[in-house]
Amino acid sequence: MSTFNNRPIYLITDDSKFNFNTLFEKVKQSIEGGTSIVQLREKHSNSLDFYKHALKIKELCKKYNVLFIINDRLDIAQAVDADGVHLGQSDLPLNISRDILGDGKIIGASARTLEDALKAQNQGADYLGVGAVFSTKTKKDAKHITKADFLNIRNNISIPIYAIGGININNAIDIKAYKANGIAISSAILNASDSKEAATYFKDLF
């Protein structure tokens, strides 16, 4: 759990709106503003481009002592020696992924229900992304969970939890009551005219 101490701002990239060079600069600005975990999420890249992009983002994260997580792709995480991988409900089972990656790597999991959260924790997840706490355009299939649902998960889970889904400068303050370890953000930082300023706002809030 100490790995996640003082790492409240978790940026999830989105390759649907920017070319990689623009995205790289926005990630860099975000880190300079206080982002402490970066997850590279590429849904529109082929494997070779994903690998090349991952190497560049990893180098950037290493320079700033930021955790670097790969979304979904165990092979890419292994190939670039990322800090870890984040798995959704439709990805490889977490315990199988742990056998592949080993104990030295971080494995995060998405959860929307207490059942999902307990299963992930029992299979060895290091942290959870729980949501969507608000409606989100980044993941259109994400279903909203209530504050009560989130707190129920928080109160029954011992590993770190990041609130995710639709968090922006207008509603982020509401998440302080959710007892989360941090917030996972995409659009509110990447789409900002000044990604460093946006990240600083969220860091100061948490």
Q: Is 110 one of the catalytic residues?
A: yes
Quote the mean pLDDT of the chain: 95
Q: Is 139 one of the catalytic residues?
A: yes
- Which candidate, 35, 100, 109, 41, places its Cα nearest to that of 67? 35
Q: Of 26, 73, 112, 139, which one is the catalytic site residue? A: 139
From the centroid of its chain, how far is CA 190? Answer: 14
Instruction: Give the model's confidence band at 135: pLDDT under 50 very low, under 70 low, under 90 confident, else very high.
Output: confident
Beta-bridge partners for 111: 130
Q: Of 110, 112, 154, 196, which one is the catalytic site residue? A: 110
pLDDT of residue 142: 67
The boundaries of the domain holding residue 183 are 2-205
Helix (H, G, I), strand (E, B) or coil at 107: strand
Q: Report the domain count for the chain.
A: 1
CA distance 63 to 15: 22
Instruction: Give the model's confidence band at 138: pLDDT under 50 very low, under 70 low, under 90 confident, else very high.
Output: low
Q: What is the mean pLDDT of residues 105-110?
A: 98
Instruction: Give the model's confidence band at 89: pLDDT under 50 very low, under 70 low, under 90 confident, else very high.
Output: confident
From the centroid of its chain, how far is CA 137? Answer: 16
- Which candidate, 160, 172, 164, places its Cα nearest to that of 201? 172
Could you give the angle at the alpha carbon of 67 between the alpha carbons of 64 and 69, nearest 5°? Answer: 135
pLDDT in tens, 141-189: 668 899 999 999 999 999 999 999 999 999 999 999 999 999 999 999 9
> Residue 1 pLDDT > 80, yes or no?
no
Among the listed ranges 39-48, 74-83, 106-115, 139-148, which one has the minimum average pLDDT value? 139-148
pLDDT of residue 140: 64
Domain harbouring 80, CATH code: 3.20.20.70
Q: Is 41 one of the catalytic residues?
A: yes
pTM of the model: 0.96
pLDDT of residue 182: 97
H or E element: which one contains 128? Answer: strand 127-131
Q: Of 41, 58, 73, 105, which one is the catalytic site residue? A: 41
- Which candidate, 29, 32, 60, places its Cα nearest to that of 40? 60
Among the listed ranges 88-92, 170-174, 200-204, which one has the minimum average pLDDT value? 88-92
